Amino acid sequence: MSLPTSAGGVPVLILKEGSSRTRGKEAQYNNMMAAKVVAETVKSALGPKGMDKMLVDSFGDVTITSDGRTILDEMDIQHPAAKMMVEVAKTQDNEAGDGTTTAVIISGALLSEAEDLINKNVHPTIIIDGYKKASERALKILEKIAISVDLNFQGYLKKAAMTSMASKLVAEHREYLGDLAVKAVLQVAEKDVGKYKVDIDDIKVEKKPGESVRGTKLINGVVLDKEVVHSGMPKRVENAKIVLLDSPLEIEKTEFDAKINIESPEQMDAFLKQEEMMLREMVDKITGTGANVVLCQKGLDDMIQHFLSRKGILALRRIKKSDMEKLSKASGGKIVTNLDDVNPGDLGYASLVEERKIGDDKMTFVEGCKNPRAVTILIRGGTERIVDEAERSLHDALCVVRDIVEEPKVVAGGGAPELEVSKELKKYAGTFPGREQLAIERFAEALETIPITLTENAGLDPIDILSELRARHEKGEIWAGIEVNSGKVQDMTKAGVFEPLAVKKQIIKSATEAASMILKIDDVIASGKMKTPPMPPGGAPGGMPGMGGMGPGGGVY
């Protein structure tokens, strides 16, 4: 690039030495390519027949997953535009909790189509405008075809939970886990002016390797990775009345160094007695409320532990703040800071508090709460990897059920909604003149990558299947999709494959947003060195017409 020069012919440097800058088409192509590479990487993981990826981090730790967000998170991506694709996955995950792979693939497809148009001299601004119109229309079409769900019947909730787990390592247990997910979400859902609100954080997920996935349980209460503090305490308390305390049960140490001169054994004795008295008072305050369990966020003095055990009280200490909040929601107890204020009305209730040995560790179950507003799912499974993947799968399932409870609408899957929207968008494109029409059509084409990818991943022929799908949608079969287990095009509502409308809408939003953001960039100024983006086997997909090569100076970081 030529540098601007001052009047005297001396170059004017505004960037630090070692900075690099690419502009115009070159910058656009580089960014588009990096983003497409990312999309290409996750493609093979889409759908029930998608493959898993084995990710090895710099410590040699292995993760096996087919979860889009996890794959991208673990990949340690450096290229700035590729990083924006990682953001797509994150946004999708945070907003909807499922559909991350789909969002990234559609984003990549939108950029592929855009690249083609740019080669035909369509300006990125026109493409961005067209994509915006198309995405708004797509959202309306999805709303229109969506199926309303009556939350009194849990069939759709369970089927959607099962669909979200169909593509995971733990798919064989999806019916069992799906059931747990539905029960957990419905338990913590709160009615808010005619609508439900669900905070997924009210569902605590604990995991311990051992047993099998079938050993996974929903607990109406909270499971704590803690053991009872004192060996003399009971390990099991029925009809538990619980004090939740967020301050330490200790004699406060003075803030400054103080010396007490004790001159006689009597004085020493009196001093210790005084301390003991104070501790006894604390215990009396607790027993005075009728409590038989103490759950404390801070420390418990040794002597207090001893006194409590003598009174037959079970106590745990150093419980996480987030767990204290869940305990409060589950047991109905109030978190108390000052023991002077505690009264029987503040106590929480659980029909059982018990320390149990789970795997190699001791955990404490606070269970059988009455109508708890927080619950726990304790995941079990043969190995650490299974337990981890079960946790990720369950996360998707919980989010999907939440999505439907909050917005009770679903669509069928298997590429059916993508194709239906694509078909409608092609008609819509016809109402626009010239280049904008092209952009809307390309948006429609990009959506077809989903049924195509599902088909390819199942080892089926995408050309035959796509033409059958298109034909059946033309005939008005809205829910015709590719059922990958049978390998046949069929009505996906009959196949029981359902997904939340919210997930599909968010996919359109996140994918369009990311593609537009990348398309808008025509100048990349980098102040440091960047690493090369990851390449799928076989190099860059799709070829790079018009790009200035990939060698040194070619601008691929």
Ligand X SMILES: Nc1ncnc2c1ncn2[C@@H]1O[C@H](COP(=O)(O)OP(=O)(O)O)[C@@H](O)[C@H]1O
The pair of structure tokens assigned to 12 is: 């004017």
CA nearest neighbour of 500 among 134, 193, 185, 64 = 185
Please list the residues that pair with 381 across neighbouring strands. Answer: 209, 210
Estimate the crossing angle of helix 501-520 against helix 384-406, to 10 degrees.
100
State the nearest-atom distance from the C-beta of 451 to ligand X, in Å: 8
Tell me the two tokens of residue 556: 């691929």
Report, in Å, the least distance between residue 294 CB and ligand X: 44
Is 67 a catalytic site residue?
yes
Residue 63: active-site member: no
Q: Which stretch binds ligand X (CB under 6 A): 94-102, 116-124, 283-291, 472-480?
A: 94-102
Site string for ligand X, 157-176 (x = CB under 6 A): ------x--xx---------
Shorter beta-carbon distance to ligand X: residue 100 or 216:
100
3-class secondary-structure state, position 400: helix
Binding site for Mg ion (CB under 5 A): 98, 164
The site partner of 482 among Mg ion, ligand X, none (C-beta below 5 to 8 Å per kind) is ligand X
Cβ atoms within 10 Å of 276's Cβ, excluding its own: 13
Neighbours of 165 (CB within 10 A): 28
> Using the rule CB under 6 A, which residue among 29, 68, 366, 524 binds ligand X?
68
CA distance 378 to 216: 6
**Is 97 near ligand X (CB under 6 A)?**
no
Q: Give the contacts of 371 (CB within 8 A, at least 6 positions apart).
A: none
Name the nearest CA neighbour of 446 among 422, 480, 479, 415.
422
52 tagged catalytic:
no
Q: What share of the chain is helix, strand, coil (3-state, %, to 5)?
A: 45, 20, 35
The partner in contact with residue 413, picked from ligand X, Mg ion, none with C-beta cut-offs of 5 to 8 angstroms by kind, is ligand X
Q: Between 75 and 544, whose beta carbon lies closer to ligand X? A: 75
Q: Residue for token digits 């095009």? A: 489
Residue 372 found at the interface with ligand X (CB under 6 A): no
Is 100 near ligand X (CB under 6 A)? yes
From 41, 70, 100, 455, the catalytic residue: 100
CA atoms of 76 and 306, how far apart (whole Å): 50
Pick what 480 binds: Mg ion, ligand X, none; C-beta below 5 to 8 Å, kind-dependent: none
Six-digit token pair at 367?
């269970």
CB of 97 to Mg ion, least distance (A): 9
One of 67, 93, 202, 403 is an active-site residue; which one?
67
Question: Residue 86 forms beta bridges with which residues?
Answer: none
Decide if 396 is catalytic. Answer: yes
Site string for ligand X, 484-523 (x = CB under 6 A): xx---------x-x-x------------------------
Active-site position among 22, 101, 453, 455: 101
Nearer residue to ligand X within complex by CB, 48 or 108: 48
Q: Dig out the tokens for 534 from the structure.
A: 């990851």
Helix boundaries (H) for 475-531 = 501-520
Residue with Cβ nearer ligand X (348 or 413)? 413
Using CB under 6 A, list all residues that contact ligand X: 45-48, 50, 66, 68, 98-102, 163, 166-167, 413-414, 450, 454, 482-485, 495, 497, 499
